[in-house]
Amino acid sequence: MSCVLFEIKNKIAFITLNREEKFNAFNREMALALQKVLDECESNNDIRSVLITGAGKAFCAGQDLAEVVDPAGPGMKKILSEHYNPIISKIRKLNKPVVAAVNGVAAGAGANIALCCDVAVAAQSASFIQAFSKIGLIPDSSGTFFLPRLIGLQKASAFMMLGDKVSAAEAERIGMIYKVFSDDQFKEESTQLAATLASMPTKALAFTKQALNNSLFSNLQDQLKTEDNLQQSAAATYDFKEGVQAFLEKRRPIFKGN
């Protein structure tokens, strides 16, 4: 069985981290397989939203710690540069919305991969742990970039230094994630969210993502220019014409993603 499952259905790419017995911890094989399917999501025009989840009880327990001490393993140097950093860059650059559907515990790099997605939702029983300090590491996989921006420096510092377990409800309350769904409804609700995103004007969402990426480091004047440029591109799409036409005709728009 493959360590990353990939299925395209109704314009949604479903990616499932699939090392259930290891709580979907990343080894090299899984990290490279995830990169491969993210590339497919980028290039395949039939895909209009992406949903990442975990098989079984956990979302992802971060790095497989057995691999770190395995003399035949990739070694510390490659783990960030060849595994996690390309995954984060691919998700942030992906020209479609990416939903993290956090079905269970998300620890270490697993938590931070979820938090770099465009929309992170969690099941009521899920939790988030910045597990790094407990093993003498620093938070990586973009955690030090996104977490303080999501929840502020104080809570980010405390969670990262203490390695607290943050419940899904708390994560929602403090703005770490978008929403919590009950365990019963989680699969259905997170799929519905991905379906809604897949029905929206895909190019406008990609330009929105580009503008948000830029906003993380720009000043107001630069950001206004970025919005201006991207808005010209959005206004040139079919979906923009359809959206305006549908409004004027008092009907629901049918977006095609181009």
Site membership for ligand LHQ, residue 211 (CB under 6 A)? no
Which of these segments, 1-9, 22-30, 47-55, 147-155, binds ligand LHQ (CB under 6 A)?
22-30
Question: How many chain residues bind ligand LHQ (CB under 6 A)?
Answer: 23
Out of 3, 4, 121, 140, the only residue in the binding site for ligand LHQ (CB under 6 A) is 140
Write down the least CB distance from residue 144 to ligand LHQ, Å.
13
Site membership for ligand LHQ, residue 161 (CB under 6 A)? no
Say if residue 187 is exposed, middle or buried (CB neighbours under 10 Å; 0-12, 13-18, 19+). middle
Would you tell me how many other CB atoms lie within 10 Å of the CB of residue 64? Answer: 21
Which residue, chain included where needed, has tokens 């491969």? 36
Site membership for ligand LHQ, residue 147 (CB under 6 A)? no
**Residue with smaller CB distance to ligand LHQ, 8 or 80:** 80
Out of 14, 23, 146, 186, the only residue in the binding site for ligand LHQ (CB under 6 A) is 23
Out of 34, 47, 52, 105, the only residue in the binding site for ligand LHQ (CB under 6 A) is 105
Q: What sign does the CA torsion over 48, 54, 56, 59 have? A: negative
Site membership for ligand LHQ, residue 8 (CB under 6 A)? no
Site track for ligand LHQ across 69-88, x = CB under 6 A: -------x--xx--------
Site membership for ligand LHQ, residue 68 (CB under 6 A)? yes
Out of 135, 161, 216, 235, the only residue in the binding site for ligand LHQ (CB under 6 A) is 135
Token pair in block for residue 64:
């497989």
**CB-facing half-sphere around the CA of 251: CA atoms within 13 A:** 7
**Residue with smaller CB distance to ligand LHQ, 40 or 183:** 183
Write down the least CB distance from residue 98 to ligand LHQ, Å.
19
Out of 11, 22, 90, 92, the only residue in the binding site for ligand LHQ (CB under 6 A) is 22
- C-alpha 79/C-alpha 68 separation (Å) is 9
Given a contact cutoff of 8 angstroms between Cβ atoms, the answer to whether 24 and 106 are in contact is no
Site membership for ligand LHQ, residue 64 (CB under 6 A)? yes
**Residue with smaller CB distance to ligand LHQ, 13 or 34:** 34
Given a contact cutoff of 8 angstroms between Cβ atoms, the answer to whether 55 and 102 are in contact is no
Pick from 66, 103, 60, 63: nearest CA to 83: 63
Say if residue 245 is exposed, middle or buried (CB neighbours under 10 Å; 0-12, 13-18, 19+). exposed
Would you tell me how many other CB atoms lie within 10 Å of the CB of residue 255? Answer: 22
